[in-house]
Structure 1
Amino acid sequence: MGLVSSALIVVDTRVLGYRQPVKITEFVWPVTGLYLGPVAIAAYRRWARPQSPRWQQRHGRPPKRPRQIAILTGLCVCGAHCALGVILGEVVVSVSGIRIGGDTLWAGYISDYSGAVTVGVTFRYFASVRRGRQRMWDALVTVAKADLLAVTAFEIALFIWLAISRNVTAAEPSMDPTSPVFWFFIQIGLACGFVAAWPATAWLVRRGIKVAPRRGPDRTR
């Protein structure tokens, strides 16, 4: 369902022409669909699709967006960092066979968190209009200020769920990246992280530290 939901959002933006005014969101929403499935489609159609020029040409002015949508958008961006980070991290741990204390769980934690931060810095780097070292410095500062708190809350919830899955819920053979069961449990953990990161994201939005992505080369915080 996650894969289908993600594909449907891609088709809507790329094939049907409901392009988003902020290009980063065309990447964020399909990633959100990977772990929230039909819930992501419903949120996308309610809040993101009406922002596209094609929708506005057909239906006129989009509905007014409540303040909570800035929080939702920030959560989706944070979730995209963490979802891609956990995919990259778990694949790296599985392929390399890295273990800490004879287990892959802690190695996965470190790799997943590092992957989420790396993805976040990469997003911010390509969003910055500055060049060279200044561009990288902008990306690092923005991630530290606007993303790190929410990403940390997201990852803690994900890690707690993975520990429960590994030790209580699922048998050891199922908790392997080569098994679809493993990715199903990852999907649940990402949904838990999405909920856990809501208070931190709301606080960042209220303080003006994190703002909804806007049209423009350097307004994607």
Structure 2
Amino acid sequence: MATRHRIERRERETVLQPTWLVVLSWAVLSVGLASTAIILVDHFVLRYRQPVKVMEIVWPATALYFGPAAVLAYRQWGRPQSPRWLERHGTPPRRPRLAVTIIETLHCATHCVLGAIIATIAVFGFSLEIFDKRLWPEFIGDFVAAVVVGLLFRYFTQADAGGRRAWAAMRRFIRGDLLSVSVFEFALLGWLALMEFMVFHETLQPSSPVFWLIVQIGSIIGFFAAWPPTLWLIRRGAKAELLGKPQ
């Protein structure tokens, strides 16, 4: 019975995912992975390391869904911050306020993107369901994983030691990241629910490139949704301690 159900679901998935969409999904995913590889090579082979180490996760993760646009942003605003670039060129170019807002938003977006990848693997790997729906544990897992990743980011950039380090990281995350992460997750999960129920009728699986294309698009939507609250937090001074103020 279970085998028959899987076959029927696979047949519906094939009908709802035309060949052109599958090919497009593979192409977009390939561009994203290639863009990520370019940034990783720049970090760890060409040794343009970032002074804020979590940015060595943020920039490659951003390239997964923004592709070449992330590479261009990194070359303009990320690479010039590295000690190797400064040794060769001196003072980095002036960074506008817009760049600070974009980078801070990308920082919070990375929590959600990594959280979505972790939660998706866990939910589908363990076949988790709530009320016979896979989407609900995925939604819960996405948000919880995004918060955990955000707390870890803050923890490893915190100067305090011992128990004070954990509490300081939690306070900084709640003060500077939780709002942006929540808005991003609301936009991403809303988009996934729309695609799942209204377009693909619960046939999307992580084994399909179309699933990850939908996640990429949802991540871009989430980024633009998180932009206004991030800008508000910057203006309140809640996020200035991570990347600094515009030069």
Q: Same fold (TM over 0.5)?
A: yes
Match of 1:130 among 139, 157, 160: 160
Farther off after superposition, 197-206 or 54-63:
54-63
1:187 maps onto 2:216 in alignment? yes
Letter of the 1:207 counterpart: R
Q: 8 Å contact 1:20–1:26 — kept in the other structure?
A: yes
Q: Does 1:59 align with 2:59?
A: no
**Deviation at 1:2?**
1.2
The residue number in structure 2 matching 1:213 is 242
Q: What is the CA-CA distance between 1:132 and the residue it aligns to?
A: 2.6
Partner Cα distance (1:180, 1:86) in 2: 15
Which residue of the partner structure matches residue 89 of structure 1? Answer: 119
Normalised TM-score (structure 2): 0.82
Structure 1 letter corresponding to 2:233: L
In structure 2, the partner of 1:139 is 169
SS of match in other structure, 2:138: helix
What's the RMSD between the two structures over aligned residues? 1.5
Matched, 1:156 2:186: yes
The runs of 4+ residues in structure 1 deviating greater than 6 Å are: none
Aligned equivalent of 2:55 = 25
Aligned equivalents of 1:212, 1:183: Cα separation in 2: 33
Query: CA separation of 1:214/1:193 partners in 2, compared to 1, >3 Å: closer, same or farther?
Result: closer
Q: Which amino acid aligns with 1:161?
A: W
Structure 2 unaligned segments of length 5 or more: list them.
1-30
User: Structure 1 stretch 95-104 or stretch 193-202: which is displaced more?
Assistant: 95-104
Which residue identity lines up with residue 12 of structure 1 in the other structure?
A: D
- Conserved? CA contact 2:185–2:222, under 8 Å: yes
Q: Is 1:199 aligned to 2:199, yes or no?
A: no
Cα displacement string for residues 59-78 of structure 1 (whole angstroms, at most 9, x for unaligned residues): 33211111122211111110
CA contact (8 A) 1:35 1:188 kept: yes
Residues in 1 aligned to 2:224 and 2:179: alpha-carbon distance in whole angstroms: 14
Distance 1:86 1:151 in 2: 12
Take 1:213 and 1:37, find their aligned partners in 2: how far apart are those partners? 24
Partner of 1:219: none
Instruction: Classify the secondary structure of the residue corresponding to 2:54.
Output: helix
Runs (5+) with no aligned partner, structure 1: 216-221
Count of equivalent residues = 214
**Which 10-residue stretch deviates more, 56-65 or 154-163?**
56-65
% identical equivalent positions? 48
Shift in Å, 1:171: 5.1
TM-score by length of 1: 0.92
| Matched letter for residue 68 of structure 2 | P
